[in-house]
Amino acid sequence: MNDRSREVFRRIVESYLATGEPVGSRTLTRTLSESVSAATIRNVMQDLEFLGLLDSPHVSAGRIPTQAGLRMFVDGLLEMDEVTNHDREKLDASLGSNDRDVGVMLDRIGSALSGLTQGASLVLAPKHEAPIKHIEFVSLALDRALVVLVFADGHVENRVFVPPLGQTPSSMREAANFLNAIAVGATISELRGKIAREIKSRRQELDVLAQDLVKTGLAVWENEGEHSERLIVRGRANLIEDSDDGDALDRVKALFDDLERKRDIAEFLELTDAGEGVRIFIGSENKLFSLSGSSLVVSPYMNSDRKIIGAVGVIGPTRLNYGRIVPIVNYTAQMVGKLISDGG
């Protein structure tokens, strides 16, 4: 694109992001840096439409950017704002009074992020990797059991799961005794390989049902897609209120039904695996949000060893104020990473 085409394109996208409305040639003639006719502007807009960067929602209407146009704008023309003092203070205030409960802290941060951006916030909490102190299985019904995991630092996790058919209280005790004999001092990540080796070497010491219970119980933690409380979603109403289209509203509801069932936590974390920094996914660029036609601005956060352990993000319509939201997400991710690192 030449300078004129680039300026026309940038003005259209910036106006669309601010208002959500198509932009016409007459409007542009009043804002461009050079004096040109509406007919000239229309020719430029037609060229941009031919390139797939703009679209005309109605005959004789103005133009709006396509998904490809938004991607080009975000990658090459977007001007980032600084995080304002007001936004910084709101996020800092969400930390509260040095609460050592990471879940509570991340919940407050997610609520603050949602409020500031008027979108929905997503916070992927880190796994708890302290050494294990004790494991216990409790039968609740024929098709339900509770597994209790106590960590050396005092943290306790409870998970309800469906046990293999035929489990008895004695087989559950046997499985728990087996796990406690090998799990003490190991983290969840370390335990998986240790259990596989131990089951192989001591297979005769466990009956078949107890082996199944061991495997099923550990899947409660190993399967990220089912790990409850890892994905914190706040501000769902912001997206629903933003949509006045019935079909779009249904897609947004379907998206959050999926998120709140936590089916895609692993995929959400994978979005950040490319490394540090904020990443932007527009519309169908990521299957997690393709049906809703939404955009995601997401950034990983790291522990003191520079290892990615979670992520924070904002989801909203494709006409997000990217220039403002990207720095906010980046600041929030750095803040969370520092808190996690400082708190151990």
Average confidence score pLDDT of the chain? 77
Q: What is the pTM of this model?
A: 0.67
Pairing of strands 64-65, 231-234: unpaired
Q: What is the pLDDT of residues 131-140, one digit of tens each?
A: 888 888 888 8
pLDDT digits (tens, 9 = 90+) for 84-101: 999 999 998 887 655 556
48-51-56 Cα angle (round to 5) = 55
Tens digit of each residue's pLDDT (9 = 90 or more) over 138-189:
888 877 888 888 888 887 877 777 777 777 888 888 888 878 887 778 877 6
Dist CA 262 CA 220 (whole Å): 13
- Residues forming beta bridges with residue 156, ordered by sequence position: 150
Query: Which of the listed ranges 21-35, 39-53, 295-309 does the model predict with the highest average pLDDT?
Result: 39-53
Asked whether residue 229 carries a pLDDT value surpassing 50, the answer given is no
What's the pLDDT at 153? 80
Task: Please report which confidence band the pLDDT of residue 53 belongs to, taking 50, 70 and 90 as the band edges.
Answer: very high
